[in-house]
Amino acid sequence: MAYASLELPSFSRPHLVTAGVSREVRHVAILLFDGCSLLGAGIVAEVFHVANELSTDSTRSSPYDVSILSADGGNVTCSSSVRVWTDGLDARHYVGFDALFVAGGKGAYAAANDERLIAWLRHVHANTGTIRPIGEGRSLLEAASLCSQRTQHEFGSYAMQNGREEAAGDAGDRLESMKSALTLVKRDLGVDVARAVTERLMPDSGGNLMPFLGDALGSAPADKVRAAARWLQENCQRAISIADAAQVAAMSERNFLRRFKLEMGITPSDYLLHARLAITCSLLTDSELPVDKIARRTGMGNGDRLAKIFRKRMMISPTEYREQSRREAGV
């Protein structure tokens, strides 16, 4: 039985400058299951790995943290009989991800009947920026009743055209999943990095993606939106408003809301809440601070408001989250 890792080997490469681009770590997950196809999932992992290589040096950390997940963790046997090591699902993931990719392959139809996977997808989707199925992976999202939600509203407008895949089969899935991953890289690190990733991974066929990569991502409105997103991230623990962020972007609030959703894939309010929840979950797990004090420190107001948001977004109370995450971490 063959074994594989979705991480590529490290070797020295030139680093691209990504000035003006937000440097906070983005959390990306790829959900696997027995019988999944390694092609689409593998290319997604490679895109983010190469993006990390091209934009990381001694003074800057990797922009992407990629997790390979499955229901039980451990080895997952792909349709090609290759085994891939994965981490299991747990409550710490309920804070969500910047992006979640669901693998394709014939095993997706059996996985769609796994109640644990479906329940987990429902838990995490509210706090996840985009959920992208690869090929047959759509069946899991259909089982979770999520296909009409963020799967149709990804970062950018390129990953799906006219509501259908450009090509069928593994080759089409590979191209579409690569485009989905490159959408995030282009948004986060700039079009030059996205092009360099494409040239590295598809030196002979990258021409298919050049029209997709050739738009004016570095235009002034996009830069202003990304600057405002950085400001929201850096100031999320303060009592700030979306109107404040619009001023940072030098836009009217109405125009800012429209452009932020177009550029980032989610509303400014959801982006701010996601940032606050990430800090809240970290404090719940790693500190002994009371819930009310955590709420005040993370811009959530008070404990009652935090509890309401937690139950709505994560279907669990802050105290229950603290207990469950520590239990699963062996604390």
pLDDT more than 70, % of the chain: 77
- Per-residue tokens: 198: 């494409």
Beta-carbon contacts of 23 under 8 Å, excluding residues fewer than 6 positions away, are: 60, 61, 63
Confidence band, pLDDT 50/70/90 cuts, at residue 2: low
Q: How many CB atoms lie within 10 A of CB 118?
A: 19
User: Which CATH topology does 2-213 take?
Assistant: Rossmann fold (3.40.50)
Tens of pLDDT, residue by residue over 277-323, are: 989 988 998 889 999 999 999 999 899 999 999 988 888 899 998 98
Tens of pLDDT, residue by residue over 21-37, are: 445 789 999 999 999 99
Q: Residue 1: pLDDT above 80? A: no
Most confident of 89-98, 120-129, 170-179, 201-210: 120-129
Write down the mean pLDDT value for the chain.
80
Tens of pLDDT, residue by residue over 170-215, are: 556 677 788 889 988 888 888 888 888 988 888 765 556 665 665 4
Phi, psi (degrees; rounded to nearest 5) at 28 = -120, 140
| Residue ranges per structural domain of the chain | 2-213, 220-328
pLDDT more than 90, % of the chain: 37
How confident is the model over 61-72, as a mean pLDDT?
92
Provide the whole-model pTM.
0.59
pLDDT the model gives residue 31:
97
The answer as to CATH 1.10.10.10 being correct for domain 220-328 is no
Confidence band, pLDDT 50/70/90 cuts, at residue 68: very high
Least confident range of 36-45, 125-134, 160-169, 230-239: 160-169
* Strand bridging mode 26-31 / 99-102: parallel
Tens of pLDDT, residue by residue over 237-249, are: 888 889 989 988 8
pLDDT the model gives residue 214:
55
Domains 2-213 and 220-328 share a fold: no
